[in-house]
Amino acid sequence: MPGKYDTRERLEAILRTTDILCRVKDVDAILDAVLAGARALVNADAGTIYLLEDEQLHFSFTHNDTLFGNDDSNKHIYTSITLPVDDKSMAGYVALTGKPLVIDDAYHLPEDRSYFHNVRLDQESGYKTTSILTVPLSTSREKIVGVMQIINALDQSGNAVPFSQDDQQFINYFANHAAVVIERAQMTRELVLRSIRMAEMRDPMETGSHVNRVGAFCAEIYNHWAREQGISSEEIKKNKDLLRIASMLHDVGKVAISDAILKKPAKLSREEYETMKFHTTLGAALFRNPTSDLDAMSAEIALNHHQRWDGKGYPDGNQDCPGLTFKAVPLKGDQMSIYARITALADVYDALSSHRAYKDPWPTERVMDLLREESGHAFDPEVVESFFSIYETIEAIREKYKDRET
Ligand code: C2E
Ligand code: SIN
Ligand code: SIN
Ligand code: FE
Ligand code: FE
Give the span between the Cα atoms of 238 and 224, in whole angstroms: 14
Ligand 4 (single-atom ion) residues, CB below 5 Å? 251
Q: What is the pLDDT of residue 140?
A: 79
Q: What is the pLDDT of residue 194?
A: 66
pLDDT at 149: 96
Beta bridge partners of 50: 59, 147
Secondary structure (DSSP) of 164-210: PHHHHHHHHHHHHHHHHHHHHHHHHHHHHHHHHHHHT--STT--SHH
Q: Is the CB of 274 under 6 A from ligand 1?
A: no
- Give the three-state DSSP class for 235: helix
pLDDT on residue 283: 85
Q: What is the pLDDT of residue 14?
A: 56
Closest ligand relative to 280 C-alpha: 4
Which among 25, 240, 254, 277 is annotated as catalytic?
A: 254
CB 303 within 8 A of CB 284: yes
* Amino acid (1-letter code) at residue 104: D
Predicted pLDDT at 29? 85
Residue from 73, 71, 69, 91 nearest 82 by CA: 91
Asked if 1 and 154 touch (Cβ cutoff 8 Å), the reply is yes
Q: Tell me which residue has its CA closest to atom 20 in ligand 1.
A: 352
* Separation of alpha carbons 311 and 173, rounded Å: 54
Strand ranges inside 36-119, DSSP E:
44-53, 56-64, 82-84, 101-103
356 lines ligand 3 (CB under 6 A): yes
Q: What are phi and psi of 147, to 5 degrees?
A: -140, 135
pLDDT at 320: 84
Q: Which ligand is nearest to the CA of 208?
A: 3
Residue 306 three-state SS: coil
The predicted pLDDT at position 205 comes to 41
Listed as own residue / partner, the contacts of 19-22 with beta carbons closer than 8 Å and 24 or more positions apart are 21/177, 21/178, 21/181, 22/181
Q: Which pairs count as long-range contacts for 1-9, CB under 8 Å and 24+ apart, including other chains?
A: 1/43, 1/154, 1/156, 1/158, 2/43, 3/43, 3/156, 4/43, 5/41
Is the preceding peptide bond at 84 cis, omega within 30 degrees of 0?
A: no
Best of 196, 202, 206 for a ligand 3 pocket test (most atoms within 8 Å of beta carbon): 206
pLDDT of residue 10: 57
* Amino acid occupying residue 53: E
Rg of the chain (C-alpha set)? 23
CA pair distance 342, 336, nearest whole angstrom: 10
Cα separation, 73 vs 67, whole angstroms? 12
State the DSSP H helix or E strand holding residue 20, giving kind and residue range, or none if neither.
Answer: helix 7-23
Q: Given this model, what pLDDT does residue 406 score?
A: 46
Q: Which of 339, 322, 279 is nearest to 303 (CA)?
A: 279
Write down the pTM of the prediction. 0.75
Residues 206 and 196: their CA atoms lie apart, in Å, by 10
Report the DSSP beta bridge partners of residue 147.
Answer: 50, 136
User: What is the C-alpha to C-alpha distance for residues 318 and 121, in angstroms, rounded to an integer?
Assistant: 56
Compute the distance between CA of residue 337 and CA of residue 285 in angstroms, rounded to an integer. Answer: 18
User: Which residue's alpha carbon is at the smallest distance from atom 8 of ligand 3?
Assistant: 356
pLDDT for 208? 73
The question of whether 254 is a catalytic residue gets the answer: yes
Judged by its nearest atom, the ligand closest to the C-alpha of residue 305 is 4
As a whole number of angstroms, the distance between CA 183 and CA 27 comes to 9
Contact present, 21 and 154 (Cβ < 8 Å): no
Rounded to the nearest 10°, the torsion over CA 248, 252, 253, 257 is 120
CB 371 within 8 A of CB 349: yes
What is the mean pLDDT for each group of 10 consecutive residues in the chain (406 residues)?
52 57 71 92 95 93 86 77 93 96 94 87 88 94 91 95 94 90 81 63 56 94 97 92 90 81 91 94 80 84 97 93 78 96 97 90 97 98 98 95 71
Ligand 1 pocket: which of 202, 352, 371 to mutate (most atoms <8 Å of CB)?
352
pLDDT for residue 84: 96
